[in-house]
């Protein structure tokens, strides 16, 4: 940066403190080439860095510090910096340049946060859980159905920083969609925050629809009349994956409510109406998840009841056959005691009579059990 540029930086940062900060930035300024037109990674963690004025993407010159300085000098537009799983060292210079709170920086780097909304002076920090549906040919007791990630968003007066964790949830298509609507993008960084929230919640609805198809398949198999038994592990696995989805969706209610109703300096008042629409979509996703959870509970209970009924039927059949077999066993046991004086022991037709009595008794028991539904 030239001496004149340093002086302008001192003026914007203010006094001797600003001079110290410029000295630090000069030693480790984030080198991001803004002239790169592609959406592919520009570095180890930087995905993209773009400057917007009046909702229109401007030609990039210089690096990140130059872009921020240009925006702040002119007092219009903002910088959108996209990162993917940055390390502490990679994020340190960016955090210093934008004066980000250390607690928010720690959350953004470490990830594994609940959806939340926090304010640090002039900066807004939001955490969104992203979800995607994992395609599978057949649902098993170990199938992964829902995969989650995170998007952290820093929103200031003249900047938006998005930090993405996970292998899905790319914001490239969202950026292109926003750029096709300059009027909306001209509302500033809060328009980007709304677009990200809307994108995340729309993904929730898409995933719930896919999970619904899996639940319908399991429900059909449980109540099918083919007699095939369903592995209860599949139902339990669906409940576990649904719980993962619930952890991403439910905690977002409070942050969206704050964005839609409470006055926040970093959020344009015109954008708050859009957040109310996103909140309505989130409510729909929450209701679907709650209904799916109840439905899975009912399916699991019905499956267990079917297993119990099947076991009872098996026990009745075993008992009926045991009763039938007991007749010849008893008769043969009596005649096998080798006494000299037995009924019809020396009669010519005694053997045939005993076999006939056993057959009639067994047939009578069999017909009785059939009529009662035991066989």
When pLDDT is averaged across residues 8-31 and rounded to a whole number, the result is 40
Residue with tokens 């790169």: 36
Question: Buried b / exposed e across 184-211, counting CB within 10 Å, b at 16+?
Answer: bbbbbbbbbbbbbbbbbbebbeebbeeb
pLDDT in tens, 247-305: 999 999 999 999 988 888 888 888 888 999 999 999 999 999 999 999 998 888 888 88
Q: What is the pLDDT of residue 5?
A: 41
When pLDDT is averaged across residues 308-331 and rounded to a whole number, the result is 81
Does the CA dihedral 285-288-290-292 come out positive or negative? negative
When pLDDT is averaged across residues 302-310 and rounded to a whole number, the result is 79
CB proximity list for 153: less than 8 A, separation 6 or greater: 124, 125, 126, 127, 128, 160, 161, 162, 163, 192, 193, 196
Question: Is the CB of residue 10 less than 8 Å from the CB of residue 18?
Answer: yes
In this predicted structure, the answer to whether residue 371 has a pLDDT above a threshold of 70 is yes
Q: Which token pair is 110? A: 């470490």
- Give pTM, 2 decimals: 0.73
Question: Is the CB of residue 208 less than 8 Å from the CB of residue 272?
Answer: no
Percent of the chain topping pLDDT 90: 29
Distance CA 190, CA 210 (A): 31
Question: Is the CB of residue 124 less than 8 Å from the CB of residue 138?
Answer: no
Domains by residue range for the chain, with CATH:
1-29 (no CATH), 31-306 (3.30.460.20), 308-371 (1.20.58)
HSE-up (13 A, CA, CB side) for residue 310 = 11
Q: Which token pair is 364? A: 């009578």
pLDDT in tens, 71-118: 888 888 899 999 998 888 888 888 988 999 999 999 999 888 899 999
Which run of H or of E encompasses 117? strand 116-120
- Maximal C-alpha separation, the chain: 132
Which run of H or of E encompasses 212? helix 189-222
Q: Exposed/middle/buried for 132, CB within 10 Å: 0-12, 13-18, 19+?
A: middle
Distance CA 52, CA 159 (A): 10
Q: What is the pLDDT of residue 32?
A: 47
Q: Which of the 8 DSSP states describes residue 252?
A: G
Distance CA 157, CA 275 (A): 18
């Amino acid at each position: 940066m030239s001496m004149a540029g340093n002086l302008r930086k001192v003026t914007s940062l203010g006094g001797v403190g600003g001079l110290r900060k410029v000295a630090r930035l000069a030693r480790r300024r984030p080198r991001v080439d803004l002239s790169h037109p592609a959406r592919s990674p520009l570095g180890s963690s930087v995905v993209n860095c773009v400057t917007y004025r009046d909702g229109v993407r401007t030609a990039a010159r210089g690096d990140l510090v130059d872009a921020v300085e240009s925006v702040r000098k002119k007092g219009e537009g903002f910088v959108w910096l996209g990162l993917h799983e940055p390390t502490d060292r990679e994020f340190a210079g960016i955090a210093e340049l934008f004066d980000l709170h250390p607690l928010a920086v720690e959350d953004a780097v470490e990830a594994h946060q609940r959806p939340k909304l926090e304010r640090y002076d002039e900066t807004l920090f939001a955490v969104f859980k992203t979800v995607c549906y994992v395609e599978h040919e057949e649902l098993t007791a170990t199938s992964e159905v829902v995969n989650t990630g995170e998007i952290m968003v820093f929103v200031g007066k003249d900047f938006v920083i998005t930090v993405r964790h996970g292998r899905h949830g790319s914001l490239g298509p969202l950026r292109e969609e926003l750029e096709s609507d300059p009027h909306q993008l001209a509302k500033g960084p809060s328009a980007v925050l709304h677009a990200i929230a809307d994108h995340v919640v729309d993904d929730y609805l898409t995933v719930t629809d896919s999970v619904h198809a899996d639940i319908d398949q399991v429900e059909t198999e449980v109540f099918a009349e083919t007699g095939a038994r369903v592995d209860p592990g599949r139902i339990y696995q669906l409940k576990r994956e649904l719980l993962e989805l619930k952890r991403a969706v439910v905690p977002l209610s409070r942050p969206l409510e704050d964005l839609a109703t409470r006055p926040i300096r970093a959020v344009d008042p015109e954008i708050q109406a859009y957040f109310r629409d996103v909140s309505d979509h989130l409510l729909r996703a929450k209701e679907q998840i709650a209904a799916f959870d109840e439905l899975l509970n009912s399916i699991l209970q019905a499956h267990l009841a079917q297993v119990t009924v099947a076991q009872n039927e098996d026990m009745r059949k075993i008992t009926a056959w045991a009763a039938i077999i007991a007749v010849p066993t008893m008769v043969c046991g009596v005649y096998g005691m080798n006494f000299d004086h037995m009924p019809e022991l020396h009669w010519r037709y005694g053997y045939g009579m005993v076999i006939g009595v056993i057959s009639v008794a067994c047939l009578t028991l069999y017909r009785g059990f059939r009529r009662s539904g035991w066989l």
